[in-house]
Structure 1
Amino acid sequence: MIHVGENTWNLRILITDLQVEKTLRVRGDQHIGGVMLQLVDPEMPKDWSDHALWWPARNIWLTRTRSTLDQAGVQSDSFLYFTPMHKTLRVQLPDLRVLDYRVNFSAKTFGAVVNLCKDLDIRYPEELSLCKPVEQEHLKKNFSKLPPKLIPVAEANGTAYLLPAPDTNSFVPITNAYNGSNGSLDRTYGQNGNNLMSAPHSPYGTTPRRAATAPGTPVSSPTGTWKPQNGASSYAAYDTGSNYGDFQENLAVSPRSPSPDVRARLVRPKTLVQKARLNVGWLDSSLSIMEQGVREYDTLCLRFKYYTFFDLNPKYDQVRINQLYEQAKWSILNEELDCTEEETLMFAALQFQVNHQTDLRPPGLDASNELSAQSNGGDDDIDSALNELQITLEGPGGGGDAGNITRIPELSDYLRFQKSHLFTLKSSKRYFFTYRDLHLYLYKTQEEAGRTAPSISINLRGCEVTPDVHLAQGKFGIRLEVPPEGRNGPNSEFWVRFDSEEQYAKWMAACRLAAKGRSLADSSYDSEVSSIRSLLQMQKPAQAAPLNINPRSVDAVDYLSPKMLRKLSGKAVQRILDAHANVRQLQLMDAKLKYIQAWQSLPDFGVTLFVIKFDGHKKEELLGVAHNRIMRMDLNTGDHIKTWRYNTMKAWNVNWGIKCMMIQFHDENVVFSCLSADCKVVHEFIGGYIFMSMRSKENNQTLNEEMFHKLTGGWS
């Protein structure tokens, strides 16, 4: 320690804008704000209000200006940066376009996402987050088996060294594949280690930040990523750098295909374990972006993280619906979700219809005008609200017996049932089913119903309902995973098979509502049945003739996953065009919403996977986290071993010392360590979903950031 005077010492600080190092004479009881004032030359005509002190060795911001140097732990051997808090971040949107955006690198990641979504015109930003780009290489090993990540630290004299990264939940380093660099220290600090914020070359073709750009605005054109196409003139607003309204309008309609280099970097998981390893890159919402190893001009991906989409409204959510559609599309094309052949062709047909309607869209017509043009003098907002209220009060059917509150709606029919996993007609038994009061009652004959006790009784509240449908085989079934009646034990699994799709639609809708604790009297029952029928209809062979389209103008690679391309081979394009005849009448927004709806109906939708080990067990297993439950799953087959629902959970927390997570339920404690990501990621998913469940149209929809951080932040 170099003593200059009584209780004073020298502190070295690099002013990154000027590339000048200053040595200040400071005291331990001096406030951080006072140190910053010493750095600023009052005669220099520059606004320093956006600057703060960054401590590279500790990887933290010193933003509490009233704290003293002693309180912050700063000593004479410390080396600090005086640098802008707002820096340029490359953000890849769900449609794979990239824009350069000014982000506060010192604010919590959650706040940065909120501000970003506000400027992009995306409502309910709590559903999204930022993650580091994951490459195929990252799927080969669990995080726990990877070497510790190091971060570069450089001093003004050219000295450069590596320090262990802080203990956060982001372990994927930013690589040269996404930043056009050789991955060395030169990427961030320049060839002599001096240039802290130098901008590397971007493979996306984005334009560097323009001078005097206000924080929180998009600053470049991402069109360099995309191939020319028909109707490309509608994206000209990107090239002209015109007003921000044009920018938002273009986010509501995406180009149909990214450039080959972007598509080549897309990750396609091949196993459930690899799907689990996809979740290693999520940033910690309670830490700043810079604290998680991200530097200026690095690329992060903006994605929908929580699969519960509140109040999707075509009038207000053109950008949100389009970006959600794009994320759904790429999850299908990248084989992140399993689909049957019929489902895959339905998705391809809907995607083709979206592209077709986009090409027919008149220049300058935005989504809101399109909705107005489609309405043709229909109900206004007040009439729609009154109609919705009437349906709610009358129940399904709109009057008659349906409006009789003393009548308990029921379903009854002969169906096939079995408990074993092998579902064949020989192993299943025929029962007379009745459904009432959220229960299935099975009788041997119709005559026994109501006169004797049922042979089997199943409580559907809280159960898992999974479709088991193969149209080509004429197979319509449901798998029910029912929680145990007692305190412990695995879920019970049952299979129900139907003779027709009409039977399937009615009973599937009833089971889905019952799982949520809602009966057949619920106003949404009829719409649920109609929705199921619609999805099945879109998967059938088309009745109408396909459009007169030259098959050579259609590239099947844009519409089918690699697995399905190999299966369909030379018939792929014609099968897509045949399936398109079922959806050719849909308007642009309707086609996107149908795609999202079909995506949400897939059996594996909305389950985020992690590789874990339960306390006291050596075998690796899967943990699935969904919007209302967590599931213990088989690592190879994905079968659900046990389900715990959030409404039975008392507390969840992390032991940071041993990296274990403990969840307390009413009847047991569950302890596990996470191998594919940090346990903080699991903690944040659970807390985030609980936060999402607190939303309702009746509540004030002002975003409660403090509550979000209480539920997701944990403790350290």
Structure 2
Amino acid sequence: MYSDGHEVDGSWVLRVYVTDLQVERSLRVKGELHIGGVMLRLVEDLDIAIDWSDHALWWPQRNFWLTRTRSTLDQYGVAADAMLHFTPMHKTLRVQMPDLRFLDCRVDFSIKTFNAVINLCKELGIRHPEEMSFCKPLETNHLKCNLKDMPIKKKIANQKNGQLNLPADTNTFIAVGQNPKGSNGSLDQSNPFMCAPVTPNNKNISTPISSPTIQSSTWQRNNNTAFGSTGSFNANNSTMSLETLNGGLTESLTQSPTSVSPDVRSKLIKPKSLIERARMNVAWLDSSLSLMEQGVREFDTIRLRFKFYSFYDLNPKTDAVRINMIYEQAKWQLLAEEIECTEEEMLMFAALQVQINLQANMPQPNYETNDTSSPVDIDDIDAALTDLQVSLEGGCTNKESSDITQVPELGDYLRFFKPKRFTLKAFKRYWFTCRDLQLRLFKTREESNSSEPPVYVINLRGCEVTPDVNLSQGRYGIRLEIPSSDGMTEMWIRCDTEQQYGKWMAACRLAAKGRSLADSSYESEVNDIMSFLQLQRPAPAPAVNPKSLDITPEDYVAPRYSKKLKGKLVQKILEAHANVKDLSLIEAKFNYIRAWQSLPEYGISLFVVRFTGKSKDELLGIANNRLMRMDIHNGDHLKTWRYNTMKAWNVNWEVKHMMVQFEEESVVFECRSADCKVVHEFIGGYIFLSMRSKEANQTLNEEMFHKLTGGWV
């Protein structure tokens, strides 16, 4: 007999706190009682006429939701010492959009973050939500300190304040002391090594996003323990509620304010080094965990940003909100100096921004749904499929020639320099030819037509191609980083004219992706490069009276250029604006995005890592089609690995080490600026995005996304 008069029948008292009413109830239950039964008995005990359909049980001590209503208390491991919360699953979240505006949104805190983003984007009218994710607002101190030391500092601070419980870890995105959970909700440590294979199953090749071939491996490392970090984030800014916007939400998000409040601007993070840029990626939430599991609570502030720089199927008619948000994210990256650009490029971006602001309140042309204008380049996989289709159909990708036996070739005199230690940069003139993804250098044009071997042969496939252009100095250079057994070999090419530069830059870019001069995109690539250069060339006189515009410099250019061009900045912006004065609103935004994508550092997410066997930290750059090992001081590419040579990427969760298997080698590293789960998710996310199809009935395969990015799903 229990003290309360109940017989000894295996039952016990379960305490449940009802957050809406701020009351606690005690229920006598047995372990075989299912979760749905617990909630039913609780509602009956409360006896209040309220709609409880959006409520669920949350277990604070274990930091997860009890959402499987048919599972029993025993199956979840709930015992008499547990305190459960009966709380709404949908809660108000303050979301900062890419244009720095805030929205008060009702978001499901009980589902995976990836699915919460999908639901929110649907409400906001943003297509392809798989490109976006939530991240926590960072403060300047997050870029200054070593994040693996922050939990210790936070714990000491909490002890001084009398707080004994360490809050959920906000920088490794897994609650303190919690290991990855198995499918039954229990802690699964039987297989600390998880594998996410890359190779698609050929049997499902017709499926737009097909399941990968499951390959399991075993990999163990026993050094270097895991680390984490904790931080708290507060924001007190004006917001708008989705409810107050009514039916005009989509329309209101297609245009953004021309300026932001000083309070919002003061919270804008401005990294001053590559290391600080890398530390910014610690903020991304884990797509496989719910918001509550990652320490996010009601009325907290979360940023919604484009995480993956692989923008798919941009359409002016259906993607007005998405295009505007991509433009805004690009703009604030440039203004915060998260990405480098030259003075001419900065003035070009400012000029496009002026045109966008001028066109914002003017009537715009209608766009059909089949409009094909898009700033997105065809990726490697699309190019391979195009080549396959051409070969099967017996066609030719070169529209200018129907002779399939004729192989296009470029030839011209250019200057070449291969850096050597302790030498000055001296360019030497050679006759260059480009054919079959190779550059061949001869001393003279005549030698190229004879049997003389070339002085140099450069294989361009898989190389890194970076522009080295300064219009004011008349410099039209191309920097090549060629893969070799010792890493990346640096070479420089100098062109004499813009026309030369456009042709050879386009040829190098396509060859790096494995596409020859016969590819149908070669001419458009040349035209894009030439247009990009033309936009940077100032007109002789402004097309708009400077006195008619109120231009605040910090709203248009990065701080270093604002200081450098002080006094003549507005004049230079308006001179550059004369080149874009005839663009419509959507064309100006497209050109802004295209120019952003043309920058050398575009789309590279950085992480500070330590490769196995190395004594110093290095940078890992993750792009939409490759991984890059980079110098931590100057960002030079030391080695590049393409995804099309990747076999699998794997994580040992016990020691937080990651191994990426390529055809030629395997690399092992630990991430020192974020949790390795973030790196894992970036790689898996880009693989997932590359599998998207152009079919009209394409549906988002959420299960596949979690399989590729989850790590322990």
What TM-score results when the alignment is normalised by the length of structure 2?
0.84
d(CA) in 2 for partners of 1:618, 1:116: 44
Aligned to 1:266: 268
Contact map agreement 1:2 1:10 (CA 8 A) in 2: no
Matches within 5 A, 1:198-213: 203-206=237-240
d(CA) in 2 for partners of 1:423, 1:696: 50
Look up the equivalent residue of 1:419 and give its one-letter code. K
Contact map agreement 1:462 1:482 (CA 8 A) in 2: yes
- Once the 2 structures are TM-superposed, how far is the Cα of residue 175 of structure 1 from its aligned partner? 4.0
Contact map agreement 1:620 1:635 (CA 8 A) in 2: yes
- Once the 2 structures are TM-superposed, how far is the Cα of residue 337 of structure 1 from its aligned partner? 0.7
> Relative to structure 1, is the Cα distance of residues 149 and 24 closer, same or farther in structure 2, using a 3 angstrom cutoff?
farther
Aligned to 1:249: 251
1:528 is aligned to 2:520: no
Aligned to 1:477: 477
1:53 is aligned to 2:57: yes
Q: Deviations over 1:488-508 (max 9, x none)?
A: 431222111100110000111
1:18 is aligned to 2:36: no
Match of residue 287, structure 1, among 279, 289, 296 = 289
- Identity within the alignment, %: 60
d(CA) in 1 for partners of 2:231, 2:303: 12
Contact map agreement 1:349 1:576 (CA 8 A) in 2: yes
> Relative to structure 1, is the Cα distance of residues 383 and 477 closer, same or farther in structure 2, using a 3 angstrom cutoff?
closer
> Relative to structure 1, is the Cα distance of residues 583 and 617 closer, same or farther in structure 2, using a 3 angstrom cutoff?
same
Aligned to 1:306: 308
- Once the 2 structures are TM-superposed, how far is the Cα of residue 616 of structure 1 from its aligned partner? 2.7
Look up the equivalent residue of 2:650 and give its one-letter code. N
Aligned to 2:667: 670
Q: Deviations over 1:135-181 (max 9, x none)?
A: 11111013212125979xxxxxxx98624536973377674641x4x
- Once the 2 structures are TM-superposed, how far is the Cα of residue 451 of structure 1 from its aligned partner? 2.6
Q: Deviations over 1:510-533 (max 9, x none)?
A: 111111111122221111111111
Contact map agreement 2:104 2:239 (CA 8 A) in 1: no
- Once the 2 structures are TM-superposed, how far is the Cα of residue 303 of structure 1 from its aligned partner? 0.3
Look up the equivalent residue of 2:464 and give its one-letter code. E
RMSD: 2.7
Aligned-partner SS, 1:261: helix
- Once the 2 structures are TM-superposed, how far is the Cα of residue 19 of structure 1 from its aligned partner? 1.5
> Relative to structure 1, is the Cα distance of residues 699 and 671 closer, same or farther in structure 2, using a 3 angstrom cutoff?
farther
Aligned to 1:234: none
Matches within 5 A, 1:128-277: 128-148=132-152, 162-163=165-166, 165=168, 169-170=172-173, 175=232, 177-178=234-235, 180=236, 203-206=237-240, 218-219=242-243, 241=244, 243-244=246-247, 246-277=248-279
Aligned-partner SS, 1:671: strand
Aligned-partner SS, 2:269: coil
Aligned to 2:510: 513
- Once the 2 structures are TM-superposed, how far is the Cα of residue 87 of structure 1 from its aligned partner? 0.6
Q: Provide structure 1 residue ranges, at least 5 long, that are not aligned to the other structure.
A: 152-158, 181-202, 208-217, 220-240, 363-369
Aligned to 1:626: 623
- Once the 2 structures are TM-superposed, how far is the Cα of residue 402 of structure 1 from its aligned partner? 2.5
How many residue pairs are counted as aligned between the two chains?
632
Match of residue 371, structure 1, among 359, 365, 375 = 365
Aligned-partner SS, 1:46: coil
Q: Deviations over 1:657-692 (max 9, x none)?
A: 111111122232211111111010000001111111
Aligned to 2:158: none
Aligned to 2:468: 468
Contact map agreement 2:171 2:231 (CA 8 A) in 1: no
d(CA) in 2 for partners of 1:505, 1:162: 60
1:616 is aligned to 2:613: yes
d(CA) in 2 for partners of 1:664, 1:71: 37
> Relative to structure 1, is the Cα distance of residues 126 and 449 closer, same or farther in structure 2, using a 3 angstrom cutoff?
same
d(CA) in 2 for partners of 1:250, 1:299: 21
d(CA) in 2 for partners of 1:128, 1:382: 23
- Once the 2 structures are TM-superposed, how far is the Cα of residue 7 of structure 1 from its aligned partner? 1.1
Match of residue 10, structure 2, among 4, 7, 10 = 7
d(CA) in 1 for partners of 2:258, 2:466: 32
Matches within 5 A, 1:623-662: 623-662=620-659
Contact map agreement 2:131 2:311 (CA 8 A) in 1: yes
Matches within 5 A, 1:395-406: 398=399, 401-406=400-405
Aligned to 2:411: 412
- Once the 2 structures are TM-superposed, how far is the Cα of residue 262 of structure 1 from its aligned partner? 0.3
Aligned to 1:124: 128
d(CA) in 2 for partners of 1:93, 1:611: 27
Aligned-partner SS, 2:565: helix
d(CA) in 2 for partners of 1:563, 1:72: 56
Contact map agreement 2:255 2:360 (CA 8 A) in 1: yes
Q: Deviations over 1:201-249 (max 9, x none)?
A: xx32446xxxxxxxxxx23xxxxxxxxxxxxxxxxxxxxx3532x1101
Q: Deviations over 1:396-416 (max 9, x none)?
A: 885xx5233332111111111
Q: Deviations over 1:463-501 (max 9, x none)?
A: 1111111111111111111222xxx43122211110011
